[in-house]
């Protein structure tokens, strides 16, 4: 039975949920092989998969390559000869085939932790910017479509449990706009264990200094703590929740695009 539709549905689900995955496609065959050109296999980060490119030892190798593609984001073109198991071939069908394994593009995700005034403004601004936005809070009354409609996900859980509830990867930008130190000392160690390229924490310099002291007492080194952007955002002298949200998203864009945050004002000769 052709399972192409199931694979495409799984691809769409991965993109919708922001789950890293890789797609393997048979692109060339010769001789006797288990699957035809166009056969597909979706590999997820947790090792589960949808579809098949032939099964057996050969497919096991493709699954391993899929995991590698998810890890480094680099596509691969694989060639297999199915002839002599004794010589190391992953099968004895007698033919050869080529398989292209590519990463499924994961949409950039803004994970907003804390649904207070700033968190709400930031989530709304993130959606306006075209990001996939997930809102998380330990208070169910502030983390639902009635309170803030239009988000891509709502996660109600204790701060330290967020990495178990949300897929956090190299395209996840985290803004912890929480209520204070008691939450942050449980939340931050959990976030530091992820591969998120941006982890920002709201609060004054004094609040962050107290947080750092508490985290050091937990055994977290200064080198690890350097990953945290705190106080969060670019210095705009922002005051209102929307202004603060703008400063946060500006910093995220700067990190994502490799910018400097410096003014672009040009005072030279335009003809230079």
* pLDDT number for residue 88: 40
Q: Answer whether 0.85 is exceeded by the pTM.
A: no
Which of 122, 129, 177, 124 shows the shortest CA–CA distance to 149?
124
pLDDT for the residue 271: 59
270 or 249: which leads in pLDDT: 249
Q: Would the pLDDT of 87 be above 60?
A: no
Kindly state the tokens that stand for 263.
Answer: 């003014």
The pairing of strands 172-176 and 109-113 is parallel
Encode pLDDT of 116-158 as tens digits: 999 999 999 999 999 999 999 999 999 999 999 999 999 999 9
Q: Write down the domain spans for the chain.
A: 4-103, 109-257
Q: Considering the domain 109-257 in this protein, what is its CATH number? A: 3.40.50.720
CA 66 to chain centre: 17
Nearest to 254 by CA among 265, 264, 267, 242: 264
Averaged pLDDT, 59-68 = 90
Cβ 52 vs Cβ 35: under 8 Å: yes
> Are the CB atoms for 39 and 51 separated by under 8 Å?
yes
SS3 115: coil
Distance between CA atoms of residues 60 and 156, nearest Å: 37
Task: Give dist(CA 260, CA 251) in Å, integer.
Answer: 9
pLDDT of residue 268: 74
* Token pair of 194 as six digits: 């992820």
Q: Is residue 2 predicted with pLDDT exceeding 70? A: no
Reported as a single tens digit per residue, the pLDDT across 11-45 is 999 888 888 899 999 998 887 766 788 889 999 98
């Amino acid at each position: 039975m052709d399972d192409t539709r199931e694979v495409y549905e799984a691809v769409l689900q991965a993109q919708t949920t922001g789950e890293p995955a890789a797609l393997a496609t048979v692109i060339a065959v010769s001789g006797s092989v288990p699957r035809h050109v166009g056969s597909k296999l979706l590999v997820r980060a947790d090792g589960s998969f949808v579809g098949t490119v032939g099964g057996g030892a050969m497919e096991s190798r493709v699954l391993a390559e899929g995991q590698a593609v998810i890890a480094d984001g680099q596509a691969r073109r694989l060639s297999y000869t199915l002839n002599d198991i004794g010589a190391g071939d992953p099968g004895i069908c007698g033919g050869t085939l080529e398989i292209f394994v590519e990463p499924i593009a994961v949409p950039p995700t803004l994970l907003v932790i804390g649904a207070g005034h700033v968190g709400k403004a930031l989530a709304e601004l993130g959606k306006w910017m075209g990001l996939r936005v997930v809102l998380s809070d330990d208070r169910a009354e502030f983390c639902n479509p009635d309170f803030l409609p239009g988000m891509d996900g709502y996660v109600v859980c204790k701060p330290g449990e967020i990495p178990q509830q949300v897929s956090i990867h190299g395209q996840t930008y985290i803004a912890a706009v929480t209520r204070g130190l008691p939450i942050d000392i449980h939340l931050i160690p959990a976030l530091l264990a992820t591969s998120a390229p941006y982890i920002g924490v709201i609060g004054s310099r004094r609040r962050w200094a107290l947080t750092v002291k508490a985290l050091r007492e937990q055994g977290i080194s200064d080198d690890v703590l350097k990953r945290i952007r705190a106080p969060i955002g670019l210095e705009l002298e922002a005051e209102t929740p929307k202004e603060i949200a703008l400063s946060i998203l500006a910093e995220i864009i700067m990190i994502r695009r490799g910018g400097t945050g410096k003014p672009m004002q040009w005072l030279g000769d335009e003809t230079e």
